[in-house]
Structure 1
Amino acid sequence: MKASKRSTALLAIFISGIFWYLSFDLALHAWWATWIAPMPVLYLSLRVSGWQAFGAAFVSCLAGWCSWIPYLLTILPLPVILLVVILFSLPMALVVALSRRIILKHVFPPLAALFVYPVLLTTAEFLQFLLSRDGTFGSIAYTQCNFLPIIQIASITGILGITFMVSFVPSAIVLVVHYHRQGRVVRNLVLMGIFPTAAVLTYGLLRLRESRPSECTKVGLAAISMSTYKNVYDTSREEQLHLTRLYLSEVDSLAGKGARVILLPEKCIPVSDATEASIQELFSDRSRHLGITIIVGFTRIYKGHMECQARVFSSNGDQVLNYRKVNLFEGEVLDGFKAGKEPGFYDRQGVRTGVAICKDMDYQRYMILYGKMGASVLYVPAWDFDRDGWLHARMAMMRAVENGFVLVRNAQQGRLIISDDRGSVLAEASSEKSKHASVTGEVCTKAGGLTLYSRWGDWFGWLNLFLAVAQIVMLSHWLRKASSTSAPRPGVSGISRK
């Protein structure tokens, strides 16, 4: 590569890397950067070799994921972190290299070529969702959680529709420039780029303007300081009852502010055989005395294993639900936790109400069950890792947009958040850096139909997978055809036969 081309390539990688870093950074939340990040390397890929395109895309995406290293250092050893950021970067590199080959071989006409990169990238994410133990964690769709008009498409397609759009627009811009430099008329390309984008944004704006329900309930959330805990799995009767009293004090305070439903964090109280009856009675008496519903996260310590539970105590003091966390993260499995098997529901004043716990919210295919079963509001006790508080709260919010329910999520070392079914934050507080936090807000619910995503599930992912396979098949067919037409025929090889 000549010096001038090398400088151009390095500049493209640098610019893409900077914008990917801004996109993925857990503190900046720069949604707009995601729309810019792929463009320099996509444009470069059409002017360099396949391996160079792969390398440029890999390095720029790797630079972006490096913004996660401070967060990952709090939960993983360094060798595993390096593996994680490499694995997160490889799909982008493969997609860019394959897109380049399909476009430059003219397998498709220019109008269809606009869709090559977004289809392949959306398919790569869909396969990750299907195969990864961490569900949708790492999707670029989550970078858009603050851009409310675009995330409304998730109610139809799931978050893959967001991934498609944030890759379609850069692809359209790059290819319009590419074909224009070749002297082609690009008016139809411009229109093709504008129409889907305008349609998605218009749908989002209209959905955001829909009337909101008038039936509201005040809810309260609280998390005590982590400095209070000696051991989150403490088996001491005195310590378990001490934590119970501290949280009951928070319940009293929130009820005094008018909260009728109070949500406490995941694993906020360890409970053993010796204390279960006492602690359950304390929460039952308090909910009955105050006439409120209390949802509290227990670490239920049994002989030989533990369970992550969410108990619901109704306003008459009855325990109406004991939900067991279904999707455990690796650390919980290693600590001896056992998973639950089914979603959790109860009815409050005729409102179908769901309960899930923390990691459950990372999995579309599990959370869609709550949508299909008619949840109007979902309460989620959770426990985050300080730096990922914003991200995990927004991942949960996207399940609410996909399935059409209100979200109330209380995370120890994370965010206490109330959001509606459009992804609008109604109330928020932070318990990051292990500090005490509390917040109250209104939960307004309505009886409505299922979202299209709740009805149809992963139809958009399967559609993109079908189109991606079709692209690869057509590329293979083109390459075989080109190889057969360019192969020397007897007597035409340039060497005369005797």
Structure 2
Amino acid sequence: MRILLIGLVVLSGVLFAFGTGLHPVFALTWLAPLPLLWAAARMSGRAAFAVSALVWTAGQAPLAGYFHGVLETPVPLVAAILAGPALVFGGLAAAHRRLALADRPLMAAGVFAAGWTTLEYVLSLALPHGAWWSLAYTQADVGPVVQTVSVTGIWGVTFLLTGVPAALATARPRAVGTAAVLLAAVLGFGTWRLATAPRPDGATMALLATEHPNDEIDMATSEGRALLAAYITRARTIDAAAIVLPEKNFVADDATLPLLTGPLTRLAAERRTVVVAGVTHRTGGTVRNAALVFTPDGGRPAEYAKHHLIPGLESDFTAGTRRVAVPGRPGWGVVICKDLDFPALVRAYRSDGAATLLAPAWDFHSDAWLHGRMALVRGVESGIGVVRNGRAGDLMISDPYGRIQAVRSTGRPGFVSVTGRAPGRPVGTLYGRFGDWFAWVCALFLLLAGAAGVPGAVTGRRGRPGSAAANPAGRIGSPL
């Protein structure tokens, strides 16, 4: 028995390692908690807590190098990012064990899923990275599943990913049956929504980028002016209503800014297109991560400043506070990279009437898939298209249903471009209207469960005589 339990625990750790992180295998995410929770019911409460915390830590350990080496997160904070959720995961696994042994399988699954969903939501509010940290993104390429976020936000997908295996781990027919019905309903809704979704019928959008050089280039230098000239030469070959360039492509202050704005203003007028260019703008003693928006009428460019800056890497920058729509195109909003990690900002643009977001971005190669899919999920949540230029990542255009219209990696010599259709109008979603209602339902459920004392779990009361809870070891081979 001990060897079996150890094997199941190790299996969960491996499944978490490959089912989460920067390049998750979506099917493994559904399976990861199952062996651990089944094994936890067959060990002491303290052992279940300790082993579960260790499994979560081991599964997330591959991200430590990304946090510290790429995002330059201090080591103590990296340790806290790994250890804090691990302790919560251990506590939820121990609660699941006690409720399962008390013959409360639905409550066990509900507490485990609602607890983890609530944790993700709280961290999205408390930490400066927004909704970056969530199991839900592992399903971004699974069309029927990702449609759930149009109703619940990412919180509903997280609930499913934790609740379904938690129900299966109890091996109780009513819990397994409930999970099966819920999953079938979700997949049915998602399949129907995709089958009835219209194709994008709006303007053609283009993304243009190069990684050579993969750096910020000052317009005061000959290299900066040469890079701008190369972009303009390539842009003249593109026929699109808007051309989006990457984040922080150029550096300019008030003296050198005309060297950038003059040629791009002429390009927009000549090609009768909108041009969005990322620039590090030094002005008035401040530095802004900005997107300059040039319109076909040749007028003064609008400027959007990035709202959500990367801690540490952008500590010298001043955050913006205004939302910006393309002049003459109120259905086109402008954001920059990390702004798409924050659902509330996207919902605000949707309330403004935006149908498409134009997003200069700059990734780190290793996080290209994850960060691009996070942007895709934001679009499904609020029912808008996302046109995201991820230098050192992916150029990607997605529609309000999460369907990728065009995608191409920038990791190749020279310039890379893609074109695709944007939606002509936004799509109404429940999440876009009511926001994080599902996360609040999960938090309320936990509060009510705690207030009720969760009989059999909080008190540690044994199951009824002759039940599986009274003899958990006897359930090892029990049929569903």
**Is the pair's TM-score, using the shorter chain for normalization, greater than 0.5?**
yes
1:417-464 Cα shifts (integer Å, max 9, x gaps): 1111111111111124x8545232222313345311011011101010
Instruction: Report SS of the residue matched to 2:309.
Output: coil
C-alpha contact 1:152 1:422 (8 A) present in aligned 2:
yes
How large is the Cα RMSD of the aligned pairs? 2.4
Instruction: Report SS of the residue matched to 1:423.
Output: coil
Aligned to 2:265: 284
Moved over 6 A (4+): 476-483
Report the alpha carbon displacement of residue 100 of structure 1 after superposing the two structures with TM. Answer: 2.4
Aligned to 1:241: 225
Q: Distance in 2 between matches of 1:301 and 1:154?
A: 38
Report the alpha carbon displacement of residue 353 of structure 1 after superposing the two structures with TM. Answer: 0.8
Task: Kindly indicate whether residue 19 of structure 2 is the aligned counterpart of residue 39 of structure 1.
Answer: no
Assess, with a 3 A threshold, how the Cα gap between structure 1 residues 362 and 30 changes in structure 2: closer, same or farther. same
Assess, with a 3 A threshold, how the Cα gap between structure 1 residues 319 and 44 changes in structure 2: closer, same or farther. farther
Q: Counterpart amino acid of 2:272? A: G
Task: Kindly indicate whether residue 275 of structure 2 is the aligned counterpart of residue 294 of structure 1.
Answer: yes
Instruction: Report SS of the residue matched to 1:136.
Output: helix
Assess, with a 3 A threshold, how the Cα gap between structure 1 residues 482 and 142 changes in structure 2: closer, same or farther. closer
Aligned to 2:196: 210
Q: How high is the TM-score relative to the length of structure 1? A: 0.86
Instruction: Report SS of the residue matched to 2:418.
Output: strand
Aligned to 2:477: none
Q: Distance in 1 between matches of 2:427 and 2:408?
A: 31
Alignment of 1:121-160 (within 5 A): 121-160=116-155
Q: Counterpart amino acid of 2:247? A: E
Q: Counterpart amino acid of 1:392? A: H
C-alpha contact 2:95 2:108 (8 A) present in aligned 1:
no
Alignment of 1:190-269 (within 5 A): 190-213=176-199, 215-227=201-213, 229=215, 232=216, 234=218, 236-253=220-237, 255=238, 258-269=239-250
Q: Distance in 2 between matches of 1:449 and 1:437?
A: 33
Q: How many residues are aligned here?
A: 459
Report the alpha carbon displacement of residue 213 of structure 1 after superposing the two structures with TM. Answer: 4.3
Q: Counterpart amino acid of 1:316? A: D
Instruction: Report SS of the residue matched to 2:247.
Output: coil
Q: Counterpart amino acid of 1:417? A: M
Instruction: Report SS of the residue matched to 2:26.
Output: coil
C-alpha contact 1:114 1:171 (8 A) present in aligned 2:
yes
C-alpha contact 2:50 2:90 (8 A) present in aligned 1:
yes
Task: Kindly indicate whether residue 303 of structure 2 is the aligned counterpart of residue 325 of structure 1.
Answer: no
Assess, with a 3 A threshold, how the Cα gap between structure 1 residues 482 and 279 changes in structure 2: closer, same or farther. closer
C-alpha contact 1:320 1:346 (8 A) present in aligned 2:
no
Q: Counterpart amino acid of 1:271? A: A
Q: Distance in 1 between matches of 2:242 and 2:284?
A: 32
Task: Kindly indicate whether residue 365 of structure 2 is the aligned counterpart of residue 386 of structure 1.
Answer: yes
Q: How high is the TM-score relative to the length of structure 2? A: 0.89
Aligned to 2:472: none
Give aligned-pair identity as a percent.
Answer: 29
Q: Distance in 2 between matches of 1:98 and 1:386?
A: 39
C-alpha contact 2:219 2:260 (8 A) present in aligned 1:
no
Alignment of 1:94-105 (within 5 A): 94-105=91-102
Instruction: Report SS of the residue matched to 2:38.
Output: helix
Aligned to 1:337: 317
Assess, with a 3 A threshold, how the Cα gap between structure 1 residues 289 and 198 changes in structure 2: closer, same or farther. same
Aligned to 2:423: 445
Once the two structures are overlaid, the 10-residue window that deviates more, 305-314 or 441-450, is 441-450
C-alpha contact 1:218 1:440 (8 A) present in aligned 2:
no
C-alpha contact 1:371 1:405 (8 A) present in aligned 2:
yes
C-alpha contact 1:88 1:138 (8 A) present in aligned 2:
no
Alignment of 1:157-196 (within 5 A): 157-175=152-170, 177=171, 179=172, 186=173, 188-196=174-182
Aligned partner of 2:83 among 61, 79, 86: 86
C-alpha contact 1:428 1:439 (8 A) present in aligned 2:
no
Aligned partner of 1:65 among 54, 57, 60: 60
Task: Kindly indicate whether residue 351 of structure 2 is the aligned counterpart of residue 354 of structure 1.
Answer: no
Q: Distance in 2 between matches of 1:65 and 1:481?
A: 32
Aligned to 2:297: 316
C-alpha contact 2:49 2:91 (8 A) present in aligned 1:
yes
Aligned partner of 2:434 among 432, 435, 456: 456
Q: Distance in 1 between matches of 2:184 and 2:115?
A: 22
Report the alpha carbon displacement of residue 416 of structure 1 after superposing the two structures with TM. Answer: 0.7
Task: Kindly indicate whether residue 425 of structure 2 is the aligned counterpart of residue 429 of structure 1.
Answer: no
Report the alpha carbon displacement of residue 479 of structure 1 after superposing the two structures with TM. Answer: 7.6
Q: Distance in 1 between matches of 2:460 and 2:290?
A: 61
Q: Counterpart amino acid of 1:367? A: V
Q: Counterpart amino acid of 1:46? A: A
List runs of 5+ in structure 2 lacking aligned partners: 462-480
C-alpha contact 1:413 1:435 (8 A) present in aligned 2:
no
Instruction: Report SS of the residue matched to 1:216.
Output: coil
1:44-84 Cα shifts (integer Å, max 9, x gaps): 12121222112221222222212324433233355554443
Q: Distance in 1 between matches of 2:288 and 2:136?
A: 32
Q: Counterpart amino acid of 2:186? A: V
Aligned to 2:468: none
1:159-205 Cα shifts (integer Å, max 9, x gaps): 00100111121012111x2x4xxxxxx2x434312221111111100
C-alpha contact 1:237 1:274 (8 A) present in aligned 2:
no
Instruction: Report SS of the residue matched to 1:331.
Output: coil
Q: Distance in 2 between matches of 1:482 and 1:359?
A: 45
Report the alpha carbon displacement of residue 228 of structure 1 after superposing the two structures with TM. Answer: 6.4
Q: Distance in 2 between matches of 1:110 and 1:83?
A: 32
